[in-house]
Amino acid sequence: MSRLPIAAGNWKMNKTAEEASEFTEALLGLSPNTSDIEVILCPPFVSLYPLSQKLAHTGVKLAAQNCHWETKGAFTGEVSVPMLLAVHCQYVICGHSERRHIFGETSEDIGKKVKAAIHFGLNPILCVGETLEEREAGQTEAIVFDHLSHGITNLTKEEALSLVVAYEPVWAIGTGKAATPQDAHQVIYYVRQQLTKKFGEKTAEQIRILYGGSVTPENVFDFMKDPDIDGSLVGGASLDPTKFNKIILESLRASQ
């Protein structure tokens, strides 16, 4: 089954609203007008609204880096899914390793965020992945299973069609040490197997699974050649419009 590839840029805590706008103008001037890949920008909250104005009618999608599962209330510093929809987000990242390991989000918390996102019509990008210590201890599948199973536990087959999964080995994020395509394939194949057990083959084959972790213009082609890898969640290389555009082009080339 053919799945539309994704190139998503997670800017993390980088770029002011002005810098984000400058980046977007530069990227739009470089990128081909294509329907063959889904390009997603994930800026900080303060840049979502101004970028939504620039991205209108361009085909480039907008994602938030996090959300809360409640719609409103006394949750200082949090942002709800309806708030994200109001600034024209189409996606939201749920369970990035930095949220898990720095801010203490649990797999149960993340499952509630995934459910809330889909309930209101936002597409969650559920991140799963192991640390170096967990990998060396042979716990990769157990950790990925925990992250994935809690993230999808309350979803129906119909809801699962809105899901994107991103495998991000923690040891490869921001380190310059990407997993090999073989490493990524092994875990992503395992993820697809678990999705099949939960939702059935027909649904699982429609869910896109990304690789993230030190993705660069130089290595993305090798990842994207794998038919089981449907795209990339890019960190540092997505902060430069020229590099990110190269990732988009290389992803397209590998998918053809």
Instruction: Kindly list the catalytic residues.
Output: 96, 168
The closest alpha carbon to 116, from 154, 87, 142, 144, belongs to 154
CB burial readout 162-181, b (16+ within 10 A) else e: bbbbbbbbbbbbeeeebbeb
- The residue type of 253 is R
Q: Which two tokens stand for residue 237?
A: 């290389």
Contact 168, 230 (CB under 8 A): no
Contact 207, 163 (CB under 8 A): yes
Q: How far is CA 177 from CA 121, 162, 242, in A?
A: 35, 30, 21
Helices (H), the chain: 17-30, 48-55, 81-86, 97-101, 107-120, 132-136, 140-152, 157-160, 181-199, 201-204, 220-224, 241-255
Contact 21, 50 (CB under 8 A): yes
- One-character DSSP codes across 9-34: EE--S---HHHHHHHHHHHHHHS---
Could you tell me whether strands 38-42 and 208-212 are parallel, antiparallel, or unpaired per DSSP bridges?
unpaired
3-state secondary structure 122-171: CEEEEEECCCHHHHHCCCHHHHHHHHHHHHHCCCCHHHHCCCEEEECCHH
